[in-house]
Structure 1
């Protein structure tokens, strides 16, 4: 009997019980997923969600770059879109259809090869199309709402729907994508550009990131949303938080809107450090920092008590 059958689900993809998530996220910390589902294709995902108890929480996982998995793990189901969802194809002279599991590097490189400009900024975001669409991902003056035409989404019920840019109600690092919905593809539109010019812009972005961000560390990317018109790193630095540590979690000395796992930090330490930064910034300047990193799952002590809550 397969593991999927043992778990009471008939699937063509891979369904794993108590799957460790730390290896799948950039911080390399946190607990296990109660169930991890890697669907074979869209129809497999639809059937799985349709058959799943409606009370079971569902969460999508991309590259795990902007995420803290709490030490007690994630109850319910974590859906991870693999290679079947990582394809990019050209629709017309300025438009790409991108799978929900396609990385920013793949999308921007495909745009370059097709002579499409305006999508270069995705080169700088360590994530996948699904996450970009959900969070209105952005960098270097551009956001997903500037390029998205529409997204194809599997709702928590298993229904497949198409949502336009307007349907998603985009604001800064936020969308109105329904809870439990999984983005399986998106249509991005740019403008005509010479491939060499697109490559030059991608190179400029890559060099800027390398110079300013701790890319070779165990990190989660930008921790807090910019408290516009200010920059998050500026108010963090002004509050004296650069290099601050709790256990083996540290505020990066290179870019203080990044938190680092220096070795074997627990997710609890990383999240506590973020809350300490928020408290110090609030006390120093009155600025209320909002988390950009998603924090999901349950705390270790709650897991011991049998709690099944999920918060973010």
Structure 2
């Protein structure tokens, strides 16, 4: 049975051979075999429950920390739309956030509610689902510090609620089950004054603007920091600042960012990242680990 005949009916949007390049920050890469935007969590659960277990499934947020390879992504890519982008206050210090809600929306809602401690989400170009899966962090804070629990739909369609302890967080890593989609998360902060929270968000925004190539086609931080060092330091020391392959370039402003200067292929971008890893290994012996997800297949 082909994937086409195996797909269950849906209430949301289901498209075949859907372009992903417009949906990811690098603006490169091939299509999704199928792109599914569920109407709600029940629609997603029903679809996964009835989908052939052999069909791969992955979630897509804002497409920031991601290289989609030029051959595209087999199986089903799930993109959570507006139905999953709501943020609501549960109590004085707690928010329930949809898996498709952006860091900017979450941090702004927290500010308006006088909830401090979530300001760092303002600086991460992604959605709640990605933060939970990758233990997203910035400016000394990580998702695991504010997460109480999350609701996920497993690959078999089962809906479960996972407390933060069950995710066994480490640096930029969780043990969220393969194929699971985060549909919501509960974040808890501490009491703060909205004006002070806004001031901290402004400080973070100004720091990002000064140090990162925010107006470029990029994927955000490319490699995990090889603690206690910073990735950009070992990349710079290895002479990689400004290095290019085709239209892919190591940013001169922040050399842990790769850029698509125009028409770079995903092959060029990934090859540049591997060349950076090779040069850093030769220069300092540091083995850089990819932070950016690389998904899909090479173009044949």
Say yes or no: TM over 0.5: yes
How far the C-alpha of 1:9 sits from its partner, in A, is: 2.5
Report the counterpart of residue 270 of structure 1 in structure 2.
Answer: 269
Where in structure 2 are the equivalents of 1:183-194 lying within 5 Å?
183-194=182-193
Work out the CA distance in 2 between the residues paired with 1:100 and 1:83: 10
CA offsets per residue over residues 14-56 of structure 1, 9 Å max, x none? 0000000000000000000000000000000000000100011
Aligned residues, how many? 298
Q: Indicate the residue corresponding to 1:204 in structure 2.
A: 203
| Post-superposition CA distance 1:272-307 (Å, at most 9, x none) | 000000000000000000000000000002xxxxxx
Residue in 2 that maps onto 1:229: 228
1:240 counterpart residue number: 239
Q: State how far apart, in whole Å, the 1-side matches of 2:293 and 2:10 are.
A: 28
SS in structure 1 opposite 2:175?
Answer: coil
Correspondence for 1:127: 126
CA distance in 1, matches of 2:33, 2:106: 31
Q: TM-score, normalization: structure 2?
A: 0.98
Distance 1:247 1:7 in 2: 40
Q: Report the secondary structure of 1:300's partner residue.
A: coil
2:33 maps to 34
What is the match of residue 310 of structure 1?
none
Corresponding residue for residue 91 of structure 2: 92
Aligned to 2:252: 253
> SS of the counterpart of 1:34?
strand
Runs of 4+ in 1 over 4 A off after TM superposition: 5-8
Q: For 1:55 and 1:61, locate their aligned partners in 2 and report how far apart those are by CA, in whole Å.
A: 19
Task: State the match for 1:45 in structure 2.
Answer: 44
1:306 equivalent in structure 2: none
- Deviations 1:115-144, CA, capped at 9 Å, x for gaps: 000000000000000000000000000000
Q: Are 2:6 and 2:51, in contact at CA under 8 Å, matched by a contact in 1?
A: no
Deviation at 1:261, TM superposition (A): 0.1
Structure 2 counterpart of 1:149? 148
Report the Cα offset of residue 175 of structure 1: 0.0
Counterparts of 2:253 and 2:100 in 1: how far apart (Å)? 30
CA drift at 1:7: 7.1
Measure how far apart 1:225 and its partner are: 0.1
Q: 1:111 and 1:228 mapped to 2: Cα distance? A: 30
Aligned-residue offset at 1:148? 0.2
Partners of 2:7 and 2:51 within 8 A in 1: no
1:225-260 deviation digits (Å, cap 9, x = unpaired): 000000000000000000000000000000000000
Secondary structure of the 1:12 match is coil
Unaligned runs of 5+ in 2: none
| 3-state SS of paired residue (2:170) | coil
Structure 1 residue 6 displacement after superposition: 7.5
Q: How does 1:72-111 map to 2 (within 5 A)?
A: 72-111=71-110
Q: TM-score, normalised by structure 1?
A: 0.94
Question: Is there any run of 5+ residues in structure 1 with no aligned partner, and where?
Answer: 302-312
Secondary structure at the counterpart of residue 72 of structure 1: coil
SS at match of 2:95: strand
Paired with 1:6 and 1:47, the residues of 2 have a C-alpha distance of: 16
Task: For 2:281 and 2:55, locate their aligned partners in 1 and report how far apart those are by CA, in whole Å.
Answer: 36
